[in-house]
Amino acid sequence: MRRYSAFAIAREAARYHQGWERAWASPEPKKSYDAIIVGAGGHGLATAFYLGKNFGITNVAVIEKGWLGGGNTGRNTTIIRSNYLQDPSAAIYEKARSLYETMSQDLNYNVMFSPRGVIMLAQTHHEVRGYLRTAHANALQGVKTEFISPQRVKEIVPIINLDGPRYPVLGGLWQARGGTARHDAVAWGYARACSDMGMDILQKTEVTGIRKENGAVTGVETSRGFIGTKKLGIVVAGHSGVLADMAGFRLPIESVALQALVSEPIKPCMDCVVMANTVHGYMSQSDKGEMVIGGGADGYNNYTQRGSFHHIEETVRALVETFPMVSRLKMLRQWGGIVDMTGDRSPILSKTPVDGVFINCGWGTGGFKAIPGSGWGMAELMARGYSPLTAEFGLNRFKEGRFIDESVAAGVAH
C-alpha cells in the first residue's frame, strides 16, 4: 500500500490522478482463517487492526452483511470524551481518546480528529454535585477535566443562553481534550490498514449460522459458504442478540433506535460540543457548518434506522431553551442507528459460553468514542484470553451483580 502524503498528491496530480490504488481489496473468502470478526463497523475493524498490529495475527477475515461502516459507525454524532465516573469506564474511554489523538498518523489516513472540547452542562443543583464528584474521580483516574462556572461556559460558547426558562446553566464539566472525528474516515482508515496487512474484508456477506463441535466454535455459515475458524469475534452492535442466538447463548441486552439530525449549514458559531443532559439534547457544529443534534434513545425496542417526528419535537424543543438560535434553522436530514443497551448502560467485552467465541456489544449510545479503546482491548482478549481493559466488562458481572452503572452515575449514557 502506498503511503498518502503531499508528495503522493503532487505525483498523482502530474499524471491526472490515474495511479491511485483501491483503499482496500474485495477478495474471495478463504476456506479458513485464524480469526474471524463479524461486523465491519468501527469496533470490528479496530479489533482486526490491533490483532495485526499488536499481536501479529493477520490471517483474519472481517465479515459484513452490508457495506463497510454502514451501521452505527456512519450514523452517530461523533462525540469523543472520557469523563466517566466509574474507573473501568474511564480507563477504556481514556485509552480510546488517547488513541484518537494519534490515529491519523498511525493509520496514515486523516480521520479529522478535532480536540475542540466537550462541555456537559449542569442545569440543576443535583447535576452540579454530580459533576463535581466526577471531576474529583477523573483527577484520581488521570483524566483531565474541570468544573467551570457559568461565566466560563459563556466564554467558550457565546451563543448559549445561561438563563433558561426552566433550567438555567449553573456550570459545566469541561474536558478540553474531548472533541469529534469524522466517523466514516475512522472506518475507512482502519479498513485500509487491515487490508494492507493482508486481512480480508468481506462485504455483502451475511453470517447465517455458527458451527460448534464439543462446545467450541469451528466456523461460520455465510451467504458465500462455510468459513472455518477457531476464534470468532462478534461485534455487530444492535444485532448482537441475533448472532448470540446462533451461537447458542443469550445476552442481557435490548436493541433500540437512537436518532440524530443536522441543520442546514451556517457560518461557524460554536467550536466545541455541548451536552445538556437535564433536557437531554446535545449539539456540535460540523466542519461543513451543519449543527449536529442528538438526544435520547427511543423508549421502545426496535430496529428502525429512520427518523421520527417525536425526536425532532422533543430534542429540538429541549435545545431551543438553551440555544434560541436553533429555532431559526431548517433541518437538512435525519436518521437513526440501532444501539444495543445493557441494564447498567456499560458494554460487554467478554468470553462466552462457547469456547473461542468472544463478544463485544452493549455500547448503547456511547460506541463511537470508544472505537480504538474497544478494538485494543478486544484484540488483546482474543489473542491472550485476558485484557485489563476488558476485565470488568465480562458477562459474568450480570450473574454476580457487579454492575458498572454509568447511567445512574453520569445521568446519561452518551
pLDDT by residue (tens digit) across 322-346? Answer: 999 999 999 999 999 999 999 899 9
Cα 212 from chain centroid?
30
Q: Residue 35 is part of which domain span?
A: 26-78+183-252+344-410
Instruction: Please give the average per-residue pLDDT across 64-68, as a whole number.
Output: 95
Global pTM? 0.95
Instruction: Please give the average per-residue pLDDT across 63-70, as a whole number.
Output: 94
At 314 the pLDDT is: 86
Residue 358 and residue 259 in one domain: no
Residue 274 and residue 398 in one domain: no
Residue 338 and residue 348 in one domain: no
| C-alpha to C-alpha distance for 237 and 166, rounded to whole angstroms | 36
Residue 289 and residue 156 in one domain: yes
| C-alpha to C-alpha distance for 112 and 28, rounded to whole angstroms | 32
The answer as to whether 3 is a domain residue is: no
Q: Under DSSP, is residue 20 helix (H, G, I), strand (E, B) or coil?
A: coil
Residue 247 and residue 304 in one domain: no
At 278 the pLDDT is: 87
- What is the pLDDT confidence band of residue 279, given thresholds at 50, 70 and 90? confident
Residue 332 and residue 291 in one domain: yes
The one-character DSSP state at 354 is S
Q: How many separate domains does the chain show?
A: 2
Give the N- to C-terminal CA distance of the chain in Å, as an integer: 36
Which CATH number goes with the domain that contains 189? 3.50.50.60
The answer as to whether 120 is a domain residue is: yes
- Residue listed under C-alpha cell 478540553: 176
- What is the pLDDT confidence band of residue 68, given thresholds at 50, 70 and 90? very high
At 408 the pLDDT is: 55
Grid coordinates belonging to 336: 437513526
- What is the pLDDT confidence band of residue 289, given thresholds at 50, 70 and 90? very high
Q: Under DSSP, is residue 31 helix (H, G, I), strand (E, B) or coil?
A: coil
Do the Cβ atoms of 207 and 65 come closer than 8 Å?
A: yes
Q: What is the pLDDT of residues 340-383, one digit of tens each?
A: 999 899 999 999 999 999 999 999 988 999 999 999 999 999 99
Do the Cβ atoms of 109 and 185 come closer than 8 Å?
A: yes
The answer as to whether 248 is a domain residue is: yes
Residue 204 and residue 310 in one domain: no
Residue 102 has pLDDT above 50, yes or no: yes
Instruction: Please give the average per-residue pLDDT across 89-101, as a whole number.
Output: 97
Grid coordinates belonging to 334: 435525519
The one-character DSSP state at 353 is S
Residue 175 and residue 260 in one domain: yes
| C-alpha to C-alpha distance for 239 and 49, rounded to whole angstroms | 22
Cα 50 from chain centroid?
16
At 412 the pLDDT is: 53
Alpha helices in 248-327 (DSSP H): 309-311, 317-322
The answer as to whether 9 is a domain residue is: no
Which CATH number goes with the domain that contains 126? 3.30.9.10
At 411 the pLDDT is: 47
Q: What is the pLDDT of residues 202-259, one digit of tens each?
A: 999 999 999 999 999 999 999 999 999 999 999 999 999 999 999 999 999 999 999 9
Q: Of 342, 369, 386, which residue is a domain's last?
A: 342
Q: Please report the sign of the dihedral spanned by the C-alpha atoms of residue 360, residue 262, residue 177, residue 112.
A: positive
| C-alpha to C-alpha distance for 195 and 389, rounded to whole angstroms | 26
At 85 the pLDDT is: 93
The answer as to whether 59 is a domain residue is: yes
Nearest to residue 120, comparing CAs of 184, 176, 76? 176
Residue 42 and residue 61 in one domain: yes
Q: Of 298, 324, 342, which residue is a domain's last?
A: 342
Q: Across the chain, what does the average pLDDT equal?
A: 93
Instruction: Please give the average per-residue pLDDT across 123-143, as a whole number.
Output: 95
Q: What is the pLDDT of residues 379-395, one digit of tens each?
A: 999 999 999 999 999 99
Tell me the C-alpha to C-alpha distance, in Å, between residue 198 and each of 79, 298, 317. 31, 40, 49
At 276 the pLDDT is: 92
Q: Of 283, 318, 342, which residue is a domain's last?
A: 342
Q: Are strands 281-285 and 357-361 parallel, antiparallel or unpaired?
A: unpaired
The one-character DSSP state at 390 is T
Up-side HSE of residue 201: CA atoms within 13 Å toward CB? 30
Around Cβ 31, how many Cβ atoms within 10 Å?
9
The answer as to whether 274 is a domain residue is: yes
Up-side HSE of residue 69: CA atoms within 13 Å toward CB? 17
Residue 122 has pLDDT above 80, yes or no: yes
The answer as to whether 55 is a domain residue is: yes
Grid coordinates belonging to 318: 429541549
At 413 the pLDDT is: 43
Residue 309 and residue 364 in one domain: no
Nearest to residue 171, comparing CAs of 294, 274, 310, 283? 274
Do the Cβ atoms of 134 and 150 come closer than 8 Å?
A: no
The answer as to whether 32 is a domain residue is: yes
Residue 127 and residue 162 in one domain: yes
Residue 58 and residue 174 in one domain: no
